[in-house]
């Protein structure tokens, strides 16, 4: 187990390094850089014409004229050594101060979504597998797939509209005005919950579809296995039978994908956030991407990918603990 | 003109002396609805002395009972003196539209983000030296009590209000106006390049503080229309010397130590931490940049003369509270503004904006409201307890302006041929656009850089040439240009490539349906047309970078008061940063005296001289009209901007409890949105 | 020998039974799967639905009464028109719709289409129309149905520009299904190769591939697409963008499946039959394909089926943020993006019809996948 642990830890470090390069590449992908935007912003409303030289000067000032490899090391060096993600150009402040509290809100939203996803999908998946081919099974399948099939942005808007006109649900944002600046309290937390259920529900619904189907498929595979048939023949009660053999194994594929569920959920987040007017990292990512404010985009991407990599690492450990074959074979 | 104004003021002052001596009755609570027989020198407002004299009364002042709490929220403000000491000795007395208001409530507004769609709420708190009255014809005093031109319009003298104070209680004087011009915008140590619009024939003006309340601008050339700028402009032509000056060696012997203490390397860095490089008040504030530094310095935002001051700002929105030193009172002596708080939320998604309006969560919103949404907003009025109205706009057709300085020389040549623009114009079915995109409203028209209702020199001919839908004529023109069609019906460029035009647009500037229709019309003429929606920022970056095939935005900034003092729209690049119009290589050629860029055609070259002359003539004079007509002719002959449908009404919404709101004469940025309608006297009526 | 022992001629039933068994024993794995699949009624229905969708999509030029960008300016934002056989003036064998007129509400400025119950417009089949090319190849001048005299029938109403929703949906079906199918195919091949290699060989190769897979997987997909889409040359036409998007979706869709294939391979790597095959000298490719993959074909199928909606949804999501397909290309995503407003929810809900297509397509793929999964299960009931 120790060897397995070390191996995975080294693997994770290598992945993190590669990820940082990949994130940097993504930051570099869109044509142009912030220097143009900055130039126009700086001279906006002044009636000045901006020359190439002005832009070049700003580019040098922002350090965007250096070779990509140097900028990579500046960037990653600042993050590792000083925890400094650089300058958020569009906001004229540091990335850290922009991201700050939003990172926690985002993490909270992701966690809530994950919990909803698993709490709902595992039992339903098992249930559907046991009742395969029945009306209940298809009903559940249709329900779970609706979440997946309806594009999230549409789902978000339609749910927002109806939640609002039927229950007077709060519109947009994560906090009401009176709590946005208030210190944390029970009332503020409740306010957050009132705002968060809708996006969490939208995000979880589509993630659920995937998990329900995975649990259902694995369970079906396992139920048909001879070991289960044999146990049934021995007279093991049906409920215990399910939990003892197939259900345990059916958790495997789920455990192996926690990190990627986070990824999937976050992938949807910017779009849902845009529709619902949430002010968290997903929305900020989308905005900064469109603004070419690449330090902000890069910081968010990097933070998120680190979370995912670490989660994957943990899920590998979990998996190895659940299924000895992997840790011995790996 | 000059003499009459002065005479009236003198009369007012002397009368008040007499009245004060005679009796001290309460002043009548005059409103615009019921002027009680009074007729002030300027519509809807009085100087204090003028009112007291006219009604032989004595105005006592009251304040918002919550003002001390509000003041406590303004970082760095000391405790308040009584209201009479906070007001100028000569406050501006405002007649409310319908009734004397009451204090309290919050105006909620929405914009898209920092520096995006914010001018709506900015205009609610805005002040400047002067203002346009709601007739959009009369300039009236505001921060300045009076003004005076010399005979040849080279010298403009403003008289300020005695005892006027900044929002932190420090005196506001003529020095603060001179400081803004001499020490900030024309000081290369602070502002690298002075904005062109504050240079006159390339020369700076001379700005001097004659005494505490008198400031004089001397111009190198006549500027008969320049007063308009102080009436319609977003900028603030005064900055607090007592505050920003402390970072400058010239005004503070210990400035270097102060800068070092707060980690500023240069004067510019320190000043711009608050001033933000621009008169545009919407740049990220010190709070956004570095709250802890702002706290160390002791002020979250630069002191202001506006009705409200920002007390909190982050990437999600702004909170503002009333300025306790604001210089206006109502006719009952209540210090304005009535509304103590403004909350502005950034909501980039249009549907969330609509939903919030439908929910009755928005007290005021007019900018970036599309006619398309009007049926939805109107049908849900009762449910959300708000009102949706339509206001006329001034001109403001969407324009398509082909990039004649395109980086691709082949396209540049095609686009420079006026027949191409003519053909594209003839290909557009404006009646269909009017029906489908604009709900049957508006009038098909071309885009010229002057709004016909505000100037005398725009003719029907200018507005109606090439606006009929005539694809045959369009095709004939394109054929004549030698743009032949291939087997699939796509026209070929001279180099054999298919003729492709990319329509890149931002929905803030023009509706998406319009472009889908236009795409179809131009595709019918044999062009390959691709449309792409981008953010306003991205469009502006591409446009200003000369990276677009067609410039597309609203044709604004073209009313008489605007163009008569600011030639931006008349000469290349036919627009500004926010609304670029093309011709960047021509500009380069002019700026470099022919060393760089592309030489403009002869008639375009003439525009610069014509525009310079145009600014020197009083708007409406025969000479002004003659030059104006010549400029418009050149624009029209070249069909620089292809217009679509003009005179489209535009929606605005307000919650039903918002009172003293005047129906908008026109909804336009050109008069700075709400500024003419005096939002300081708005109030929220308890239900 | 057996013939002499049992000289009695086979009865017909016996012969059928024997032939059936012979066919069964001689049948390839895929034939067996097909046989079992055929008995899965829901899956057959779903497959038929998918087939129909594809058919309608492929021959959109014939089934759609109008082109995807044709506008009817007399019927803008008009509600669906359902053909009927009877009205208050009596019945007719030929279905008809009522004529309409559009009136603008003077207060709200909303254009409202009002049917005129006195006029009838009859629906005809195989009507002559503007010449088009089926699948862009075969010239045709006939449409499946339409009205006479240039009047227009809008089965599912029109959008804000007066374009026929029914016609556009058919064209969109073609675009979206093809993106999904191509994308899934590309990622399937990649996943199989990469996952197979990693899972079979293990060790260093596996570690290296694992790292790469992990990096590709941990990057959130949408931002990655955004970067790639933003890097696409601006002058690309919508057709080029279409192919580029398919490629991108395919290129980054593989890691989930690859990782699953790998971990499954790893977990059965030590099984006796794999060892036996190795000892028998079988090559790795053969062992993977013939011995190992079949044991979890069901997984692969579920994953494939499930990645299909992700392809389509990625397309819609990208189109939504303005980085995907652009008009005049028409896909489900493009159509739904235009339906993205409160105004549509309240006043023109028929613009959501394409969402129904997305849901039905996704569900149909699931049910088909389910059927395939049962059919491919080697432990499932035989015969």
Q: What is the CATH number of the domain that holds C358?
A: 1.10.3720.10
Pairwise pLDDT comparison (A276 vs B414), residue with the higher score: B414
Q: Which residue of B has its CA nearest to C230?
A: B534
pLDDT recorded at residue A48: 55
Burial class (CB in 10 A: 0-12, 13-18, 19+), B138: middle
pLDDT recorded at residue B185: 92
Count CB neighbours of C303 within 10 A: 26
pLDDT digits (tens, 9 = 90+) for A101-135: 778 888 888 888 888 888 888 888 888 877 777 77
E strand or H helix that includes residue C190: helix C165-201
What dihedral angle (degrees, nearest 10) is formed by the CA atoms of C230, C234, C240, C241? 30
Chain A residues lying within 8 Å of C220, measured CB to CB: 263, 266-267, 301, 304-305
C220/C94 same-domain check: no
Rounded Cα distance between B297 and B291, Å, is 10
C148/C231 same-domain check: no
Contact A277 B277 (CB under 8 A): no
Domain assignment present for C18: no
C235/C361 same-domain check: yes
A90/A103 same-domain check: no
Contact C322 B378 (CB under 8 A): no
Q: Which residue of C has its CA nearest to B504?
A: C234
Residue C130, chain B, CB below 8 Å: the answer is no
Residue A12, chain B, CB below 8 Å: the answer is no
Residue A267, chain C, CB below 8 Å: the answer is yes
CB pairs under 8 A between B and C: 77
The whole-angstrom distance between B540's CA and the closest CA on chain A is 8
Give the nearest partner residue to C345 out of A19, A161, A286, using CB atoms.
Answer: A161
Domain assignment present for C101: yes
pLDDT recorded at residue B254: 94
pLDDT recorded at residue B270: 93
- Quickly state the pLDDT bin for C181 (edges 50, 70, 90): confident
Pairwise pLDDT comparison (B364 vs A35), residue with the higher score: B364
- Please, which chains are in contact with A (at least 3 CB pairs closer than 8 A)? B, C
Pairwise pLDDT comparison (C224 vs A81), residue with the higher score: A81
Q: What percent of chain C has pLDDT over 70?
A: 87
pLDDT recorded at residue C158: 93
C224/C294 same-domain check: yes
C360/C242 same-domain check: yes
Please count the structural domains in chain A. 2
C123 three-state secondary structure: strand
Strand runs labelled E in B150-213: 155-160, 199-200, 203-204, 206-211
Average pLDDT score over chain B: 90
Domain assignment present for A104: yes
Q: Which of A73-87, B259-273, C4-18, C289-303 has the highest mean pLDDT?
A: B259-273
pLDDT recorded at residue C358: 83
A112/A231 same-domain check: yes
Domain assignment present for C257: yes
- Average pLDDT of the residues in B99-122: 88
The whole-angstrom distance between A316's CA and the closest CA on chain C is 11
Res A50 pLDDT > 70: no
C146/C257 same-domain check: no
Q: What percent of chain B has pLDDT over 70?
A: 96
pLDDT recorded at residue B138: 93
- Quickly state the pLDDT bin for B5 (edges 50, 70, 90): very low
C224/C120 same-domain check: no
B9-to-A25, B1, B50, B149 alpha-carbon distances in Å: 68, 13, 7, 16
Domain assignment present for A190: yes
Please count the structural domains in chain C. 2
CB pairs under 8 A between A and B: 114
C335/C227 same-domain check: yes
Res C383 pLDDT > 60: no
Contact C110 B519 (CB under 8 A): no
Give the nearest partner residue to B577 out of A43, A180, A275, using CB atoms.
Answer: A43
On the question of a cis peptide bond just before residue A282, with omega within 30 degrees of 0, the verdict is: no
Contact C108 B534 (CB under 8 A): no
- Average pLDDT of the residues in B40-53: 95
B235-to-A186, B109, B280 alpha-carbon distances in Å: 44, 21, 6
pLDDT digits (tens, 9 = 90+) for A236-253: 777 776 666 666 666 666
pLDDT digits (tens, 9 = 90+) for B571-596: 998 988 788 888 999 988 988 888 88
Chain B residues lying within 8 Å of C69, measured CB to CB: 520
Give the nearest partner residue to B361 out of A161, A171, A274, using CB atoms.
Answer: A171
Residue A273, chain B, CB below 8 Å: the answer is no
Final residue in a domain of this structure, among C153, C179, C210: C153
Q: Which residue of B has its CA nearest to C239?
A: B530
* Residue A135: CATH number of its domain: 1.10.3720.10
The model carries a pTM of 0.84
A82/A122 same-domain check: no
Contact A47 B197 (CB under 8 A): yes
Rounded Cα distance between B669 and B136, Å, is 12
pLDDT digits (tens, 9 = 90+) for C73-107: 888 889 999 898 988 888 888 899 998 888 899 99
Rounded Cα distance between B567 and B558, Å, is 10
- Average pLDDT of the residues in A148-158: 77
Chain B residues lying within 8 Å of A43, measured CB to CB: 193, 577
Residue ranges of domains in chain B, CATH in brackets? 1-60 (no CATH), 62-126+306-393+650-687 (3.40.190.10), 398-646 (3.10.105.10)
Residues spanned by the domain of C316: 168-375
The whole-angstrom distance between B94's CA and the closest CA on chain A is 31
Domain assignment present for C129: yes
Pair B100, B331: CB distance under 8 Å:
yes
Chain C residues lying within 8 Å of A149, measured CB to CB: 309, 313, 358-359, 361-363
C205/C144 same-domain check: no
Question: Tokens in use for A242?
Answer: 């399910």
Domain assignment present for C60: no
C332/C231 same-domain check: yes
pLDDT recorded at residue B47: 95
Chain A residues lying within 8 Å of C202, measured CB to CB: 329-330
Rounded Cα distance between A281 and C223, Å, is 12
ipTM over 0.85: no
- Average pLDDT of the residues in B598-611: 95
Pairwise pLDDT comparison (A238 vs B131), residue with the higher score: B131
Gyration radius of chain C's alpha carbons = 27
Final residue in a domain of this structure, among A44, A67, A94: A94
pLDDT recorded at residue A235: 75
Chain C residues lying within 8 Å of B376, measured CB to CB: 342-343, 346-347
Closest residue by Cα to residue B140 from B675, B680, B684: B675
Domain assignment present for C297: yes
pLDDT recorded at residue A56: 79
Contact A289 C223 (CB under 8 A): yes
Question: Tokens in use for C287?
Answer: 């062992």
Average pLDDT score over chain A: 77
Final residue in a domain of this structure, among A94, A125, A146: A94
Contact B359 A291 (CB under 8 A): no
pLDDT recorded at residue A248: 65
Residue A169, chain B, CB below 8 Å: the answer is no
Give the nearest partner residue to A47 out of B195, B317, B361, using CB atoms.
Answer: B195
Q: What percent of chain B has pLDDT over 90?
A: 72
A88/A212 same-domain check: no
Q: What percent of chain A has pLDDT over 90?
A: 0
A133/A219 same-domain check: yes
Res B51 pLDDT > 50: yes
pLDDT digits (tens, 9 = 90+) for C296-353: 766 676 677 767 767 777 777 777 666 677 777 888 888 888 888 888 988 999 999 9
Final residue in a domain of this structure, among A66, A94, A122: A94
Res B632 pLDDT > 90: yes
A66/A206 same-domain check: no
The whole-angstrom distance between C138's CA and the closest CA on chain B is 15
Residue C98, chain A, CB below 8 Å: the answer is no
Residues spanned by the domain of A247: 99-291+315-320
Give the nearest partner residue to A161 out of C220, C224, C342, using CB atoms.
Answer: C342
Residue C71, chain B, CB below 8 Å: the answer is yes
Contacts of A110 (CB under 8 A, 6+ apart): A262, A265, A266, A269
Domain assignment present for C40: no
Pairwise pLDDT comparison (B373 vs A277), residue with the higher score: B373
Q: What does residue A132 show for φ and ψ, rounded to 5 degrees?
A: -55, 140
Rounded Cα distance between A94 and A113, Å, is 29
The whole-angstrom distance between B403's CA and the closest CA on chain C is 16
DSSP secondary structure letter of residue A82: I
Q: What percent of chain A has pLDDT over 70?
A: 80
pLDDT recorded at residue C24: 72
Pairwise pLDDT comparison (C242 vs B111), residue with the higher score: B111
Final residue in a domain of this structure, among C153, C188, C208: C153
The whole-angstrom distance between C46's CA and the closest CA on chain A is 13
A65/A88 same-domain check: yes
Burial class (CB in 10 A: 0-12, 13-18, 19+), A157: buried
pLDDT recorded at residue A317: 80
pLDDT recorded at residue B16: 44
Res A40 pLDDT > 90: no
Chain C residues lying within 8 Å of A145, measured CB to CB: 309, 359, 362-363, 366
Res B670 pLDDT > 50: yes
- Quickly state the pLDDT bin for A328 (edges 50, 70, 90): low
C175/C149 same-domain check: no
Chain C residues lying within 8 Å of A286, measured CB to CB: 226, 321
- Quickly state the pLDDT bin for B19 (edges 50, 70, 90): very low
C129/C262 same-domain check: no
Domain assignment present for C17: no
Contact C210 A11 (CB under 8 A): yes
- Please, which chains are in contact with C (at least 3 CB pairs closer than 8 A)? A, B
pLDDT recorded at residue B638: 96
pLDDT recorded at residue B163: 96
Q: What percent of chain C has pLDDT over 90?
A: 11
pLDDT digits (tens, 9 = 90+) for B498-551: 999 999 998 877 888 899 999 999 999 999 898 888 777 778 878 888 889 999
Residue A229, chain B, CB below 8 Å: the answer is no
A116/A170 same-domain check: yes
- Please, which chains are in contact with B (at least 3 CB pairs closer than 8 A)? A, C
Give the nearest partner residue to A37 out of B347, B537, B568, using CB atoms.
Answer: B537
Rounded Cα distance between C292 and A186, Å, is 55
Chain C residues lying within 8 Å of B534, measured CB to CB: 322
A136/A271 same-domain check: yes
Q: Which of A64-78, B90-104, C21-35, C308-322 has the highest mean pLDDT?
A: B90-104
The whole-angstrom distance between A184's CA and the closest CA on chain B is 18
pLDDT recorded at residue B13: 44
- Quickly state the pLDDT bin for B101 (edges 50, 70, 90): very high
């Amino acid at each position: 187990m120790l060897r397995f642990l070390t191996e995975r830890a080294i693997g994770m470090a290598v992945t993190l390094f590669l990820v940082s390069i990949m994130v940097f590449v993504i930051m570099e992908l869109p044509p142009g850089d912030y220097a143009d935007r900055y130039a126009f912003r700086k001279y906006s409303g002044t009636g000045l014409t901006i020359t190439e030289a002005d832009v070049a000067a700003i580019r040098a000032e922002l350090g965007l004229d250096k070779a990509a490899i140097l900028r990579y090391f500046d960037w990653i060096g600042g993050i590792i050594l000083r925890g400094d993600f650089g300058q958020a150009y569009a906001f004229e402040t540091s990335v850290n101060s922009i991201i700050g509290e939003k990172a926690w809100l985002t993490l909270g939203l992701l966690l809530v979504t994950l919990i909803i996803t698993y709490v709902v999908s595992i039992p339903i998946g098992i249930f559907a597998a046991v009742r395969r081919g029945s009306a209940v099974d298809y009903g559940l399948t249709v329900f779970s797939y609706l979440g997946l099939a309806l594009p999230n942005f549409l789902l978000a808007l339609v749910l927002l509209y109806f939640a609002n006109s039927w229950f007077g649900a709060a519109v947009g944002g994560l906090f009401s005005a009176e709590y946005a600046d208030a210190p944390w309290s029970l009332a503020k937390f409740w306010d957050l919950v009132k705002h968060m259920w809708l996006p969490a529900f939208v995000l979880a619904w589509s993630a659920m579809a995937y998990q329900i189907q995975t649990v259902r498929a694995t369970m079906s595979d396992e139920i048909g296995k001879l070991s289960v048939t044999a146990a049934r023949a021995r007279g093991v009660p049906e409920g215990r039978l399910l939990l003892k053999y197939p259900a345990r194994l059916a958790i495997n594929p789920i455990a192996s994908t926690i990190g990627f569920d986070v990824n999937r959920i976050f992938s949807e987040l910017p779009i849902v956030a845009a529709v619902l007017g949430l002010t968290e990292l997903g929305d900020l990512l989308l905005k900064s991407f469109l603004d070419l404010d690449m330090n902000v985009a890069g910081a968010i991407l990097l933070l998120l990918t680190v979370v995912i990599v670490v989660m994957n690492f943990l899920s590998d450990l979990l998996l190895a603990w659940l299924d000895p074959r992997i840790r011995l074979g790996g | 003109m000059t003499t009459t104004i002065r005479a009236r003021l003198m009369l007012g002052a002397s009368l008040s002396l007499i009245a004060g001596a005679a009796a001290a009755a309460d002043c009548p609570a005059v409103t615009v609805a019921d002027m009680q027989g009074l007729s002030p020198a300027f519509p809807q407002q009085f100087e204090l002395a003028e009112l007291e004299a006219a009604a032989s009364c004595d105005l006592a002042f009251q304040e918002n009972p919550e003002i001390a709490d509000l003041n406590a929220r303004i970082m760095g403000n000391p405790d308040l003196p009584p209201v009479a000491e906070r007001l100028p000795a000569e406050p501006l007395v405002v007649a409310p539209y319908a009734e004397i208001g009451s204090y309290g409530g919050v105006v909620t507004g929405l914009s898209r983000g920092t520096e995006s769609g914010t001018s709506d709420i900015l205009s609610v708190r805005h002040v400047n030296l002067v203002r346009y009255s709601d007739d959009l014809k009369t300039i009236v005093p505001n921060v300045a009590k009076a003004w005076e031109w010399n005979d040849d319009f080279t010298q403009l003298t403003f008289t300020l209000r005695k005892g006027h104070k900044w929002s932190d209680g420090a005196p506001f004087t003529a020095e603060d106006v001179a400081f803004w011009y001499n020490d900030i915008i024309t000081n290369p140590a602070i502002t690298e390049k002075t904005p062109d619009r504050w240079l006159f024939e390339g020369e700076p003006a001379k700005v001097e503080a004659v005494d505490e309340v008198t400031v004089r601008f001397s111009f190198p050339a006549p500027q008969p229309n320049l007063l308009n700028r102080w009436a319609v402009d977003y900028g603030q032509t005064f900055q607090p010397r007592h505050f920003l000056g402390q970072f400058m060696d010239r005004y503070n012997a210990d400035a270097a130590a102060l800068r070092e203490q707060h980690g500023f390397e240069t004067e510019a860095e320190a000043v711009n931490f608050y001033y933000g490089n621009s008169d545009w008040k919407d740049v990220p504030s010190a709070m956004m940049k570095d709250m802890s530094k702002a706290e160390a310095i002791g002020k979250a935002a630069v002191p202001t003369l506006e009705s409200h001051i920002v007390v909190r700002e982050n990437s999600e929105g702004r909170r503002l509270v009333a300025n306790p030193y604001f210089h206006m009172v109502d006719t009952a002596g209540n210090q304005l503004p009535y509304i103590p708080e403004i909350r502005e939320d950034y909501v980039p998604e249009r549907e969330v904006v609509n939903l919030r309006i439908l929910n009755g969560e928005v007290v005021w919103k007019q900018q970036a409201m599309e006619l398309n949404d009007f049926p939805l907003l109107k049908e849900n009025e009762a449910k959300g307890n708000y009102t949706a109205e339509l206001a006329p706009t001034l001109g403001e057709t969407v324009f398509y302006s082909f990039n004649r300085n395109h980086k691709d020389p082949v396209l540049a040549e095609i686009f420079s041929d006026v027949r191409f623009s003519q053909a594209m114009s003839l290909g557009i079915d404006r009646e269909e656009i009017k029906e489908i995109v604009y709900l049957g409203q508006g009038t098909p028209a071309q885009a010229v850089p002057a709004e016909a209702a505000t100037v005398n020199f725009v003719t029907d001919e200018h507005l109606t040439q090439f606006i009929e839908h005539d694809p045959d004529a369009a095709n004939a023109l394109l054929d004549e240009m030698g743009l032949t069609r291939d087997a699939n019906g796509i026209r070929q460029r001279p180099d054999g490539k298919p003729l492709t035009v990319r329509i890149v647009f931002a929905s803030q500037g023009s509706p998406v349906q319009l472009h889908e229709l236009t795409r179809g019309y131009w595709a019918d003429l044999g062009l390959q047309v691709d449309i792409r929606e981008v953010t306003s920022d991205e469009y502006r970056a591409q446009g200003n970078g000369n990276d677009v095939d067609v410039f597309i935005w609203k044709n604004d900034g073209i009313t008489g008061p605007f163009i008569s003092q600011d030639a931006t729209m008349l000469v290349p690049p036919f627009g500004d940063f926010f609304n670029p119009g093309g011709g960047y290589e021509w500009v380069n050629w002019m700026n470099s005296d022919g060393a760089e860029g592309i030489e403009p055609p002869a008639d375009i070259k003439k525009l610069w001289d014509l525009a310079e002359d145009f600014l020197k003539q009083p708007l409406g004079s025969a000479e002004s009209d003659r030059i104006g007509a010549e400029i418009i002719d050149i624009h029209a002959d070249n069909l620089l901007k292809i217009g679509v449908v003009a005179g489209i009404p535009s929606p605005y919404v307000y919650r039903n409890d918002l009172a003293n709101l005047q129906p908008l004469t026109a909804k336009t940025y050109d008069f700075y949105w709400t500024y003419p309608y005096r939002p300081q006297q708005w109030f929220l009526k308890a239900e | 020998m057996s013939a002499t022992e049992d000289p009695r001629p086979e009865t017909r039933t016996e012969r059928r039974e024997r032939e059936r068994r012979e066919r069964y024993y001689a049948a390839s794995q895929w034939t067996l799967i097909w046989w079992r699949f055929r008995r899965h009624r829901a899956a057959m229905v779903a497959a038929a639905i998918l087939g129909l969708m594809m058919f309608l999509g492929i021959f959109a030029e014939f089934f759609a009464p109008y082109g995807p960008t044709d506008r009817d300016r007399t019927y803008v934002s008009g509600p669906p028109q359902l053909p009927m056989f009877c009205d208050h003036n009596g019945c007719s064998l030929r279905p008809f719709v009522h004529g309409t007129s559009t009136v603008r509400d003077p207060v709200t400025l909303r254009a409202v289409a009002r049917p005129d119950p006195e006029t009838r417009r009859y629906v005809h089949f195989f009507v002559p129309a503007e010449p088009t090319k089926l699948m862009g190849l075969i010239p045709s001048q006939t449409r499946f149905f339409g009205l006479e005299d240039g009047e227009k029938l809008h089965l599912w109403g029109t959008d804000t520009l007066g374009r026929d929703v029914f016609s556009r949906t058919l064209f969109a079906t073609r675009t979206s299904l093809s993106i999904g199918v191509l994308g899934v195919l590309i990622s399937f091949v990649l996943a199989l190769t990469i996952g197979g290699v990693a899972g079979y060989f293990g060790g260093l190769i596996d570690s290296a591939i694992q790292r790469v897979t992990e990096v590709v997987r941990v990057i959130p997909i949408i931002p990655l697409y955004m970067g790639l889409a933003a890097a696409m040359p601006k002058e690309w036409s919508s057709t080029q963008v279409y192919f580029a998007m398919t490629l991108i979706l395919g290129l980054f869709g593989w890691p989930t499946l690859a990782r699953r294939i790998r971990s499954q391979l790893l977990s059965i790597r030590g099984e006796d039959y794999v060892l036996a095959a190795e000892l028998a000298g079988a090559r790795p490719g053969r062992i993977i394909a013939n011995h190992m993959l079949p044991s979890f074909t069901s997984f692969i199928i579920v994953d494939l089926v499930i990645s299909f909606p992700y392809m389509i949804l990625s397309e819609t999501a990208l189109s939504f943020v303005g980085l995907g397909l652009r008009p005049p290309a028409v896909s489900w995503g493009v159509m739904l993006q235009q339906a993205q407003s409160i105004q549509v929810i309240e006043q023109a809900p028929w613009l959501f019809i394409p969402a129904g297509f997305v849901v039905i397509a996704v569900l149909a793929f699931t049910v088909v996948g389910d059927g395939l999964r049962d059919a491919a299960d080697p432990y499932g009931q035989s015969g």
